[in-house]
């Protein structure tokens, strides 16, 4: 059960998420009867002898939050109905929080950019789009979408202080063991007045059930093992970490459009629109600008 604070967190009112089929084979009746007799003989063996027969090893469990997964699946970034389908939906929703560039030569740093899914939604915004990721194959896909690739860790980005007009951290903070360092790096990269845009998973029981126990079992929504629920992000802590570095974060929930999801599952849509909601207990977005002078620390606030 989640507490009332988990079910309803701070919100933002601006701006205004195929099974394979094995071939069938019917052996001749003579083989079926022979196989049945062999099976009966095996079942009739003493327990000690049955223990000597080879056994099929169980399938290994997926490694939670495995970074190598993105290398293995890099060729699927472009498929809107593939393993990263929900990341396509979230990229479109994230782009709605990014305003057009306010000056020539403006820089947007995309932390954990993956295959560059954000780039197509920012065409014409006027940014120099730099994507930071650990996966070389994913960065190669991002380059094909017009992203300037930079291999690096989001907790130690090889860029100068204050280089970015916008820093985006989309669906990456819940994969980082050191949240404090990741937030510090994101804020360090921002110039004064620059915009931070994030979206991530809340550290609630409900989010763990929806994202892991359900989401990773629905075909094409999320790969198995992509999440480690121990790394899901506490909303109040995220706000405090941002405030320590001069960014006052405002958050709101986001969820798939209820009409779109069944149509997508039935193959009648290639995408699902994400809708802003007051409930921040599963998925949530955050935005905030870096102050010229660092303010005192505070938790996320709502926008009326």
Spatial distance between the Cα atoms of 119 and 88, rounded to a whole number of angstroms: 11
pLDDT along the chain (304 residues), means of 10: 46 37 36 44 49 54 66 87 89 98 97 96 96 96 97 96 98 94 98 97 91 66 71 96 97 95 88 95 97 62 46
Beta strands 190-201 and 283-289 are antiparallel
User: Please, is 133 exposed, middle or buried when counting C-beta atoms within 10 Å of its C-beta (0-12, 13-18, 19+)?
Assistant: buried
* Confidence (pLDDT) at 292: 84
The three-class DSSP label of residue 288 is strand
* Confidence (pLDDT) at 57: 54
pTM greater than 0.85: no
* Confidence (pLDDT) at 266: 87
DSSP 8-state assignment for residue 61:
P
């Amino acid at each position: 059960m989640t507490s009332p604070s988990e079910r309803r967190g701070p919100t933002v009112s601006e701006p205004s998420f195929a099974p394979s089929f094995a071939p069938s084979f019917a052996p001749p009746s003579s083989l079926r009867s022979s196989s049945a007799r062999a099976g009966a003989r095996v079942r009739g063996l003493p327990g000690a002898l049955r223990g000597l027969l080879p056994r099929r090893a169980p399938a290994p469990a997926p490694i939670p939050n495995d970074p190598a997964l993105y290398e293995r699946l890099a060729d699927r970034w472009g498929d809107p109905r593939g393993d990263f389908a929900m990341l396509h939906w979230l990229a479109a929703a994230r782009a709605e929080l990014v305003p057009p560039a306010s000056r020539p030569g403006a820089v947007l740093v995309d932390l954990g950019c993956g295959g560059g899914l954000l780039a197509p939604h920012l065409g014409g915004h006027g940014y120099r789009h730099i994507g930071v990721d650990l996966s070389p194959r994913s960065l190669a896909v991002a380059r094909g979408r017009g992203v300037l690739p930079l291999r690096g860790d989001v907790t130690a980005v090889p860029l100068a202080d204050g280089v970015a007009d916008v820093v985006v951290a989309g669906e990456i903070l819940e994969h980082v063991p050191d949240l404090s360092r990741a937030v510090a790096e994101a804020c360090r990269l921002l110039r004064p007045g620059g915009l931070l845009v994030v979206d991530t998973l809340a550290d609630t029981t409900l989010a763990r059930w929806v994202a892991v126990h359900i989401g990773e079992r629905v075909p094409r929504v999320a790969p198995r093992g992509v999440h480690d629920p121990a790394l899901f992000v506490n909303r109040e802590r995220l706000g405090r970490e941002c405030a320590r570095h001069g960014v006052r974060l405002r958050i709101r929930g986001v969820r798939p459009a209820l009409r779109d999801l069944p149509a997508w599952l039935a193959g009648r849509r290639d995408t699902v629109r994400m809708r802003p909601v007051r409930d921040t207990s599963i998925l949530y977005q955050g935005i905030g600008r870096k102050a010229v002078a660092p303010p005192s620390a505070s938790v996320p606030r709502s926008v009326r």
